[in-house]
Amino acid sequence: MASERAGTPLLSGLTAVALVVVVALPFAFIVLQAIFPEIGAGSFARPFSHLGAVLKSEDFGIETRNTLLLGTGVVLASSVIAVPLAGLRALYRLPGALLWDVVFLVPFMIPPYIATLGWILTLQPAGYLQQLTGVNLAEFLFSFPGIVFVMAMHSFPVVYFAASRSFATIGARFSDVSRVFGAGPGRAFWRITLPLATPALAASLLLVFAMSIEEYGTPAVLGARFGFDVLVTGIDGSLSDWPIDLPKAALLSLALIVLSLLAFALQRRIATARDFDVVGGKSPRAPARSLGVWQAPVLALFGLVAFVSTGLPLLAILATALSRTISGGLAPNNIGLLHFEAILSDTTGAMQAMANSFSLGLIAALVAGVFGIAVAYVTTRGPGRGRRVIDALAMLPNAAPGVVVALGLILLWNQPSLPITPYNTMWILVLAYVCILLPQPVRYTVAAFQQINPSLEAAARISGAGPMRTALRIWVPLIAPSVLAAMLLVFTVAARELVASLLVAPVGTDTIGTYIWRQFDQGSVGDGMAMAFLAIIATTLIPLALLGGLRRFERKA
């Protein structure tokens, strides 16, 4: 036990140091750059001299307003789509309910920038919709409602799954009481069920808002057509357009972090303002009602949403990947495997980009998994007040989009006084992915540790087991499923990440995200969509196959 007491502070110290390097320092340099515009040259002169010019600039106000409008619009649109579907899924006997859940999960598995490219190919002038029906919706697509629609098609599953699970937990018992007193089904849902689901709805809508204000690909592609700039594209412009303006990028990043923190504070206030207890000693669940004559219209509604959110983007991506030329349209003689052959033969560097992404994703998943275990152990088993500091540092990336993390890494590792730096190497991408995705393995592993009764560890120590044997025989088997699930999530997201890869990838190095983006930008749309289709298949099937193998192993064990 003495060795364990000695080892825990050491682990806490090493974890704190690692978190400072990976998480705290990049964020600190964003703040320093915002305050001291000349810190890149090693000078602390003229503090706050850049602040007034940025705050008074017209584009700052426009970008901030557009960011708020976009986040709010996507939240509202996602709610309108997801809440009715979730209510029908949870409170009624919906045929094929599990199948619909799987189908609605697919849009969330497609990277938003890839889905956006699919929507462009479908709705642009002479796009697939116009070729098939004669309808031209390009004016709608390249507008604020169009951006909101495209982003809501990606984010509504977040609200759908949270709301449906919450509605199912609440059940129909409470609304049935109101029905006895004369309330109709709609009023009972609006006045009883929906308010009781407020915590889950607030959490999911906060996530949708955060996803929307940090999304780069959709505003960059669609917004550029009609001058709709947001904070994320403003940060990118400050870093990529000459003259490069690092202080402005840092100030815009801080504004984005403030918006995320305000949204989080609002969600906490909503969730704690009232008592939402619905689970007691008696189960609130009641048998789901029959849809009756509404079964066919409800199934048609689910099918329509599934086709629009999942089918159309995937079909557009596949059709483009199979088209020899974009101008040839959907003619049979224009269909072939030319672009897939180009990808697989690696004539354009596609296979190297895929190998880069998979290897970087695997390394990031391993590092984040080990990191997550250390943070989770320290915050649940470690002594002292330092646990809260470590937990706060591990959660800090939740408040910052990928573009902010990338900026922090650029500012930190480009300091001229550093004797060695990972910048312009593949390791800068690993650092970016780990920093952005660290909260996922931490939360998963913390939850797993909280489910382990401390008496198991005490029993192991009484039986003579040391810290290492206790860890290998008790902790590792019990937390392994949660850690592996988190690592698969990190791998999947890291392998397809775009914005940080665009900003910090070494010169001449492509990942899946940057390859697709550059092929589309250079006019090689077919190659880009072929790569996108293969990436979607690989990054969806690989985790599903590994999870299936893990479940079979658990059943045998």
d(CA 423, CA 415): 10
Amino acid (1-letter code) at residue 394: A
Percent of the chain with pLDDT over 70: 81
Contact 401, 230 (CB under 8 A): no
Q: CA nearest 284: which of 204, 189, 174?
A: 174
What mean pLDDT comes out for the span 282-300? 74
What mean pLDDT comes out for the span 360-381? 87
Say whether pLDDT at 322 is over 60.
Answer: yes
Q: Which residues pair with 92 in a beta bridge?
A: 289
For residue 508, name the pLDDT band (cuts at 50, 70, 90).
Answer: confident
Please tell me whether residue 92 adopts helix, strand or coil conformation. Answer: strand
What mean pLDDT comes out for the span 286-314? 86
Take residue 546 and report the two structure tokens written for it. Answer: 């590994």
Say whether pLDDT at 43 is over 90.
Answer: no
Query: Per residue in 162-180, pLDDT tens?
Result: 888 777 766 555 555 555 4
| 292 DSSP 8-state letter | G
What mean pLDDT comes out for the span 52-60? 83
| 329 DSSP 8-state letter | T
Q: CA nearest 497: which of 305, 323, 361?
A: 361
Query: Per residue in 381-429, pLDDT tens?
Result: 766 667 778 887 887 887 777 888 888 898 889 877 788 899 989 999 9
Contact 153, 211 (CB under 8 A): no
Q: Classify each residue of 409-420 as buried b or exposed e, where b means 16 or more C-beta atoms within 10 Å of its C-beta.
A: bbbbbeeeeeee
Give pLDDT, residue 282.
47
d(CA 552, CA 29): 46
For residue 219, how many other CB atoms are within 10 A of its CB?
24
Give pLDDT, residue 319.
92
d(CA 539, CA 534): 8
pTM of the model: 0.80
Burial label, 517 (beta-carbon count in 10 A; 0-12, 13-18, 19+): buried
d(CA 74, CA 209): 7
d(CA 125, CA 138): 6
d(CA 303, CA 99): 11
Query: Per residue in 182-195, pLDDT tens?
Result: 555 556 566 566 66
Alpha helices in 110-184 (DSSP H): 112-123, 128-133, 138-141, 144-170, 173-180
Say whether pLDDT at 109 is over 80.
Answer: no
Rounded to the nearest 10 degrees, what angle do helices 246-272 and 231-240 cross at?
160
HSE value, Cβ hemisphere, 13 Å, CA-based, for 305: 27
What mean pLDDT comes out for the span 144-148? 95
